[in-house]
Amino acid sequence: MAQMGAMGAEALWNAILDRLKTELPALSFNTWFQETRAVTVMEQKLIVTVPHEYVRTNLLERWVPTIEAAMGEQGCAGMQVQFILESEKSLFAEQMQATSYEETGLMSQFLFDNFIVGDSNRLAHAAAKAVAEAPAQAYNPLFLYGGTGLGKTHLMHAIGNYIRRNNPALRILYVSSERFTNELVLAIQNARGRGDDANAAFRRKYRSVDVLLIDDIQFIAGRESTQSEIFHTFNDLHSHNKQIILSSDRPPKEIPRLEERLRSRFETGLIADIQPPDIDTRIAILQDKAARDNVRVAPEAVAFLAESCENNVRELEGTLTRVAAFARLTGRTIDLDLAREAMKGILPQRTRQEMTPDGILEAVAQAQDVTVEQIKSPTRSARVVMARQISMYLLRELTTLSLPRIGDLLGGRDHSTVLYGMDKVEKLMATNTNLRQQVYDLRRRITGE
């Protein structure tokens, strides 16, 4: 018989448990089999972990013939069962390493090594690396959130790939919330009319792992059965000190129709956000992709593409792919003119008419609950000073005004005051999530993006 990986072993063991559950009293099943977990199959042996030595002794003395007969019914005649303690799993690390990416759900190309770190994602990256290096010891759960295409999925796969490479005895499973829901629905449908516990095999699959990664958790909102299953899966894994990593497009408190009991559990670990990358990070992302794809790009073309795509890393990388293809088809080098030609009609036409200095000041004043007159005045109250400094930051970022011109616009302040205000906002945004979100929201409102 061909060797199986961890997930193949798990499917075989689950089938055996389903049979035993119908033949044994609930007390006996729960006492001897409830805490067992399949590890792998190697050398015609199904390796199964048990929680205690006395459980192993009882299983060896009383249940081996029944288990091996059940394996024969599953097409595995001649296979034996071997029970090991949880502490002995490391002995099978090499075999566990052979588990395919398809079985774990991981994508091998997403690594920490090719994730570009900038101010917008530094916290999320550091938290992800800490979890990968010490699963269930650093932050549990780890909740990553941010907009589409900013790198949440990349970091989740990077965590799984790092653990798989450095701690191969651990069982890892990555799944989207949509797939989790679909598998649950299918399990319920398959069990109807048979009197089975609809979710027995499903639960064993998701509660037998050491690291569970669920992407786009916001999509479970409003789905009662899915939320209930995730709630109990979360509790089971967390109580057994297993690592949980979740991602969403927003923090738990902003996910509509999410049950309060789930919201509170999601918030017990670390919540880390990923914001749109700044211009320096976008340039670094493009330079890294160009190097990986062995594409030569003029610095001016890189800067043009970085300035043209601000809010989505996936789209940013896509612009370089398009430009490189255009260059190959036309036999030209990638300079600024070619980049502009290749992206003509693709990049959104920006209308800076609405981004007048007065419009920016009005938007800031409204958001900060002050008046434009106060922003321009000598007033030194904390709220007004913060609104004034945010105005300096946005005026510099969204217009071509010089520092002295911005100072004139804000009541005759000199350029050093404007520079100080801009630097103050940038430094605060690096550590203050709420302020960073306020500024990003203001920017999107002003630009219409």
> What would the pLDDT profile of 130-160 be if each residue is shown by its tens digit?
999 999 988 999 999 988 889 999 999 999 9
Q: What is the rounded CA–CA span in Å between residue 229 and residue 147?
A: 26
- Of 174-188, 293-307, 338-352, 431-445, the range with the lowest mean pLDDT is 338-352
Confidence of residue 97 (pLDDT cuts 50, 70, 90): low
Q: What's the token pair of residue 436?
A: 């960073």
- Averaged confidence pLDDT in the chain: 85
Question: Exposed (0-12), middle (13-18) or buried (19+): which is 150, by Cβ within 10 Å?
Answer: buried
Give the number of other CB atoms < 10 A from CB of residue 240: 13
Average pLDDT over residues 18-28: 86
What length does the chain have?
A: 449
Q: Residue holding tokens 């080098």?
A: 333
Sheet of strand 37-42: strand arrangement: 37-42, 45-50, 80-85
Chain segment 61-93, per-residue pLDDT in tens: 988 988 888 888 877 777 889 999 887 876 665
- Which string of b and e fits 367-403 if b means at least 16 CB within 10 Å? bbebbbebbbeebeeeebebbbbbbbbbbbbbbebeb
pLDDT tens-digit map of 354-381 = 468 888 999 999 988 899 999 999 998 9
Residue 286 near residue 298, CB atoms below 8 Å: no
Omega within 30 of 0 (cis) for the link into 378: no
Sequence-distant (≥ 6) Cβ neighbours of residue 337 within 8 angstroms: none
Residues 6+ apart with CB under 8 A from 12: 4, 38, 41, 46, 71, 74, 76
